[in-house]
Structure 1
Amino acid sequence: MLHVIVKISQSDRGITMKRVLLILFVFFVTVLPTMADETCLTCHQESAFVHRCRNIAVSPTTLMESVHAKFACVDCHYKGHEDYPHQKFDSRISCGECHKEALAQYQNSSHYLALRAGNVEAPDCTSCHSQHQVLDPQEAFHGQNGIKACRQCHNDPDKNIRAGLKPALVKGFEHSYHGQMYNLGHDGEEFATCISCHGSHAILGRDNPDATIYQNNLVETCSQCHTDVNTNFSGYLNHYSLDNNESAVLDKLTHFMELLFRGTMIVFGLHTLLWFMRTMVTTGCKATSAAYQSENVIIRFRLQERMMHLIMVLSFLTLAATGLPLKFSNSPFSEWIYKNLIGFDVAAQIHRIAGVVLLVLFIFYVLYLLIYRLIIRGERGMLWGVDSLMLQPKDVADFFRHIAYFLFLRSEPPKFDRWTYWERFDYFAVFWGMFVIGISGLVLLLPMQVTVFFPGWVINFAHIFHSEEALLATAFIFIVHFFNTHLRPGTFPIDDAIFTGRITVEQLQEERPLEYERLLQSGQLDLLRAEPLAHWQVVLLRIMGLSFVFIGLSLLVLIITSVFDLL
């Protein structure tokens, strides 16, 4: 054949190189069935044809890494190579000739039915398995790879809508606990992937009685991983997202929590900013005197109050450190924390232990207030009055007076008693937050037990409440509470009263003049006087307090960077 080509070239000087290549190609495809893969790669690896038609390029490395490496090209492409150009791909290859069972399942699936109905976007075998780099299914669809395979199509809202599906399928999955763990980089099989629930080849719509996600089959599907599954639990909305318009109740809850977050942070964020600006203008960075620098100190917080606050701080920071990365699971920062500092299983266990500790503390404190202080000691003032942490009408007036002072509409700030309006609001927020986060956390911890009595969407309800309220609590504490208590000019870098239990009389007179006058007139001021702590004790307690502030501000950086990552 080559001899003929040479003779033709010598006799016909006008023949072009293109014709020579064409003749060579005809030769290769004519004798292809009896030749090795190198024959195919002559054109399909690196040639003038590949440069003009990139989609025909095949890498030998790709072929060698495939599970089909032991087969020759013509074992699959056994027809259609005789002519040039080759016939269309789907007319010269059929995966089903070897994979008959998989083909039978696929031909009963929603994917195949959509393809037969004319939807060119519906997947065939190569859409998921690729053409030449066909990997072992245990590798190709294990963990992250399985999610990536489905994400190729179902991460596109427009494509989902054209297929008659919910627009935010992948987004909804990523909002679930399973999806969050995979977002954080988990690559095992401890958490469900798309294939875990929907299957692989026989993927059917939820209205099909044979589907794994058909209502009557959900208990069996969920039982693959969960024990003691009940019918209500199977009603959990695995793909819930605000974009899917799937549940009016959950949509309203999501909108409410978003409004609560934005409203709270805008109001108190502006409050913090105005306070900072006014203080810098009037007093600068003058710090209050520390308790160990003066002999004139009084007790502000008793030992049991300081211990409860310490337990709450430790539990809260632990919950924030293990929970915020899960909340912002799409953030690279979060993935780094889980992979390098905490670990998936350890983080989950620590989070649950800290949650139980905080919930026990909350229950103990409520009983302490109601039984010990209210009933046994008869402290009626804890419910109303100057010693009460319940919000008072004066607090509303003080708030607006303080805003007026920030805006230079008043020359003096309002006079405060034992508790200020922001401290009472913090107290109320802690009660609300611990109740909501605690109850929702129990639902997420015990879903099987809860769904014996409640429908499955209650788990979604608890997840939204838990996640959004925890974000509000952490953002409020690390921004507003930290500034009001520790970071504002006058107390920076830390107000150690909650750790030492002591403040100076001068500090009391300056910051809480109404309480100072009341205690002085009643003679109780002298009763509250105490010995100052040793210098080393105060330093140690301040280091502890500053450590808490540093951890909180570091987590605030996580929140801010994660929000920007999502924009």
Structure 2
Amino acid sequence: MARQLSLPALLCGLVLAAVLSFGAATADAQEREIRCGMCHKDVQFDSTAHADVACKDCHTNVTSPRHKAEDLADLSGDAMCAQCHTMAPRAVGRSVHADQVGCMDCHGDAHSMLKNDDLTSPMSPVGQVQVCGDCHRGQEGGGDLINAFVESVHGRGLLRSGLTASPTCSTCHGGHMVFPVEHERSPTSFKNSPEMCGDCHQYIYDEWLNVSAHGAAWQAGDTSTATCIDCHESHSIKDPTVGLDRLHMADECGDCHGDLYNTYRGGFHGKATDLGLVTSATCSDCHTPHSTLGQDDPRSSIHPDNLQAMCGECHGDVTMAFASFNPHINPNSPDDNFYVFIIAMAMHALVIGVFGFFGIHAILWLQRGIVGHMRGEFLGHHSPSNTYVRRFKKRDISMHKLIIVTFLLLAATGLPLKFAHAPWAHTLMAWFGGVENTMFLHRVAAIGTFGYFVWHLVVLIRRLAAGEKGLFWGPNSMTPQLKDGKDIVAMFKYFLYMGPRPAGDRWTYWEKFDYLAVFWGMMIIGGSGLMLWFPNFFTEILPLPGWALNAAYVVHSEEALLATGFIFLFHFFHTHLRPESFPLDPVVFTGSQPIERFKDERPLEYQRMVEEGTLEDHIVPAPTKEQMRSIHFWGFVAVAIGLALAVGIFTALLIY
């Protein structure tokens, strides 16, 4: 009968076997050190992964200490390794590296090979980046992939923060069994990549898989849906919650949702993120990043029942009307909102009409002015004079200076948002210290604009209360009258050499247009700006529907284009750049102009002053040279800024 071994006896046997085995390995190592080391003194083997492996275990073809050097090469490196590591060479042979990469290409020289968990090993997490880069950096696009990984959140965690748990090459692509990226057995394929990422990001993977529309589509085999690497890329993965990296996530969503991406970029949120406002909403802020669902799903963040809570995360306690604002509206499509469409078409027509009329007006005037200058028709305009006629009071000069400063600041801080796609917009934003500073300055300029508007209304009311006549009718009034219509016709005849220039009075028709445009602008651009500044007030107190905010955005944007374009092109031309005035008309700064020019441009007003005996009351001393130098300097600065912004508008419209 066979004897059964007791547990103590069995344990003693195992310990004895281990001791004998270790003793044999030690003996082999000693033999190697004594026999092989006599010749191969340069081989340092004790600190490697194979410290307990005898020389003859690898060099099985060497049978005598007196071997020839070529005997060592009879056995290839891979075959040598395969004697112990039987599975690894077979795996490599079925991988993308078959017949291309040997064991020592990755693991290093056999005599200095280290264990993978040794931080100095070529196959350590850090070492893999260099080893894989040695080959893949030389391939087409390879350098970009390796460099992208180094700068990614994974690469920074591994190489800069020393987090060895961060993913490295083999984490995603496998060790020995590396397949092409889209191979069905590759961890990086469409079928397998979510699970691969889920190995580390388990909670996010579960949320994406079980809640989001993308995860449901992936499980159903829809190859057009988005997986982890579609949104986060593969090698250049950034932290989507930090700084500018989160703002670029919209570009990833736009790869699939092109129409929605375009409308997002056309709205405030998209333009603000394009300019670097990190607090502005991007796709994941509204739609959630990993539990994205359709609008009809009650669990969706954009379901009507959840909109107030979603919008309130950024905007506080918002009304339902505010939450119904459509961030993806296309104002040029009647299908999105018919009211907004009508308003947008009306604004487009206004911009085209004004630019069209005054564009033709300016071109014809320019050619007629050049001819008149060559004929010597404006000699009196540029000749020195000691007699000046006062046209504006000090109050008017101060008010116009305030208008210049606030308007230029409004344009310089508002146009970059309208044309956020243009490179110069980013430059301007940087000059102002970023989007938030720019928005602050824009609102300061808006307050100044409302200030001078109220100031002017108070002046008008006081003049009316004092019994001043002619404020609303007559030659001194800014109200358009029948003569203005006749002057327009006569002016075009003058442009076409069909008649004399119409006799001017206190105000010309283009000056009245400039003046009344301020009133129009304050109602349109000022009112729409206040709606965008205080949306909760206008949707709760008034209350207005959410689409009114969409309409306000369209109106504010188009009116800003109309106002800036008109001032910088046509107002500047009418006032400063036409041959009669070029290069600058200082009258609005001095408050007066030479009597020769006054008689030529405004003969009706001059004649009326003579007949009423009031001309002498308006005669003032000529400005000093110091005053004129200061006026020309600041005047040229203002005109230069305006013209530079005008160039920016045209380049943004025509090029970008």
TM superposition score category, shorter chain reference: 0.7 to 0.9
How many Å separate the matches in 2 of 1:83 and 1:494? 73
Distance 1:72 1:404, change over 3 A: closer
Q: What is aligned with 1:240?
A: 329
Quick one: distance in 2 between partners of 1:354 and 1:178? Answer: 22
Displacement of 1:53: 11
1:151 corresponding residue in structure 2 = 251
Report the equivalent of 1:331: 422
Match of 1:193 among 265, 275, 282: 282
Q: Give the SS at the match of 1:123.
A: coil
Q: Which has the higher contact order (CA 8 A, sep 6+)?
A: 1
- Alignment partner, residue 407 of structure 1: 496
The structural deviation recorded for 1:319 is 0.9
**Correspondence for 2:185:** 87
Any conservation in 2 of the 1:44–1:57 contact (CA below 8 Å)? no
Could you tell me which amino acid in structure 1 is paired with residue 249 of structure 2?
A
After superposition, the Cα gap between the structure-2 partners of 1:130 and 1:551, relative to the gap in structure 1 and judged at 3 Å, is: closer
| Residue 220, structure 1, aligned to residue 309, structure 2 | yes
Which letter maps to 1:493? Answer: P
Counterpart residue identity of residue 415, structure 1:
A
What secondary structure is seen at the aligned counterpart in 2 of 1:283?
A: helix
Q: Which runs of 5+ in 1 are unaligned?
A: 10-17, 161-166
Aligned to 1:102, which of 200, 204, 209? 204
Residue 416 of structure 1 corresponds to 504
1:125 pairs with 223, 228, 235, which one? 228
Give 3-state SS (helix, strand or coil) of 1:419's partner: coil
What does 1:41-56 align with in structure 2 at a 5 Å threshold? none
Of residues 560, 566, 576, the one that matches 1:470 is 560
1:43–1:50 contact (8 Å) kept in structure 2: no
Code of the residue aligned with 1:127 in structure 2: it is D
User: Is the Cα contact below 8 Å between 2:506 and 2:602 reproduced in 1?
Assistant: yes
Map 1:166-185 to 2 at 5 A.
167-185=258-276
Shift of 1:484: 0.7
Tell which deviates more after alignment, 553-562 or 322-331.
553-562
User: Aligned equivalents of 1:358 and 1:53: distance in 2?
Assistant: 54
**Superposition deviation, residue 109 in structure 1:** 0.6
Structure 2: which amino acid aligns with 1:422? W
What letter corresponds to residue 408 of structure 2 in structure 1?
L
- How far off is 1:209 after superposition? 0.9
Q: Tell me if the contact between 1:106 and 1:112 (Cα under 8 Å) persists in the aligned partners.
A: yes
Report 1:119-518 matches (<5 A). Answer: 119-135=222-238, 139-154=239-254, 156=255, 159-160=256-257, 167-186=258-277, 188=278, 190-242=279-331, 245-284=335-374, 286=378, 288-289=380-381, 293-369=384-460, 371-379=461-469, 381-410=470-499, 412-452=500-540, 453-518=543-608
- Tell me how far 1:2 sits from its aligned partner: 10
- CA distance in 1 between partners of 2:217 and 2:59 (Å): 49
Q: Distance in 1 between matches of 2:629 and 2:144?
A: 72
Change (3 A) 1:294 1:69: same
Residue in structure 2 matched with residue 13 of structure 1 by the alignment: none
SS at match of 2:248: helix
CA RMSD of aligned residues (A): 3.6
3-state SS in 1 of match to 2:443:
helix
The equivalent position to 1:552 in structure 2, one of 631, 642, 645, is 642
Q: Distance in 2 between matches of 1:312 and 1:48?
A: 62
Tell me the TM-score normalized by structure 2: 0.73
1:145 Cα deviation after fit: 2.2
1:477 Cα deviation after fit: 0.6
- Could you state the TM-score of these two structures normalised by the residue count of structure 1? 0.84
In 1, Cα distance between the equivalents of 2:145 and 2:432?
A: 44
Asked if 2 retains the 8 angstrom alpha-carbon contact of 1:78 and 1:92, the reply is: no
Deviation per CA, 1:52-94, whole angstroms, max 9, x where unpaired? 9989987784774466853566655669939998724346662
Q: What is the CA deviation profile of residues 29-62 of structure 1, one whole-angstrom value per residue up to 9, with x for unaligned ones? A: xx9xx96884988996566999699899877847
Give how far 1:459 is off.
Answer: 1.9
Deviation at 1:276, TM superposition (A): 0.9
Distance 1:530 1:347 in 2: 42
**Structure 2: distance between partners of 1:19 and 1:179:** 48
Say whether the 8 Å CA contact 2:231–2:253 is kept in structure 1.
Answer: no
Contact 2:286–2:310 (CA under 8 A) maintained in structure 1: yes
Residue pair 2:286, 2:302 contacting (<8 A) in 1 also: yes
Larger Rg: 2
Query: Using a 3 Å threshold, how does the CA distance of structure 1 residues 460 and 358 change in structure 2: closer, same or farther?
Result: same
Instruction: Measure, in 2, the Cα distance between the counterparts of 1:465 and 1:198.
Output: 27
Assess, with a 3 A threshold, how the Cα gap between structure 1 residues 378 and 38 changes in structure 2: closer, same or farther. same
Output the amino acid matched with 2:609: L
Q: Please list the CA deviations of residues 314-364 of structure 1 after superposition, one character each: whole Å capped at 9, or x if unmatched.
A: 111111111111221111111011113443222212211110121122133
How many Å apart are 1:540 and its aligned residue? 2.5
Q: Is the 8 A contact 1:173 1:239 kept in 2?
A: yes
Q: Please tell me the residue identity of whatever aligns with 1:195.
A: S
Please tell me whether the aligned partners of residues 81 and 87 of structure 1 are also in contact (alpha carbons under 8 angstroms).
Answer: no
**Correspondence for 1:14:** none
Quote how far apart the aligned CAs of 1:390 are.
1.1
Q: Offset at 1:185?
A: 3.2
The aligned amino acid for 2:614 is: Q
CA drift of 1:485 comes to 0.8
Aligned mates of 2:60, 2:155 — CA distance in 1:
34
Q: Which whole-Å deviations, capped at 9, do the CAs of 1:432-465 have from their partners, x for residues lacking one?
A: 1122111111112111111111122222221211
- SS state at 2:389 partner: strand
Assess, with a 3 A threshold, how the Cα gap between structure 1 residues 368 and 22 changes in structure 2: closer, same or farther. Answer: closer
Shift of 1:280: 0.8
Instruction: Tell me how far 1:236 sits from its aligned partner.
Output: 1.5
Question: Quick one: which amino acid aligns to residue 421 of structure 1?
Answer: Y
| C-alpha contact (below 8 Å) 1:115/1:122 kept by paired residues | yes
Structure 2: which amino acid aligns with 1:463?
Y
* Aligned counterparts of 1:327 and 1:294: Cα–Cα separation in 2: 45
Report the CA distance shift for 1:400/1:207 in structure 2 as closer, same or farther (over 3 A). Answer: same
Residue type of the alignment partner of 1:87: R
**Cα distance 1:125–1:413, how it changes in 2: closer, same or farther (>3 A)?**
same
Instruction: Return closer, same or farther for 1:367/1:125 CA change in 2, 3 Å cut-off.
Output: same
Provide the aligned length of Structure 1 versus Structure 2: 536
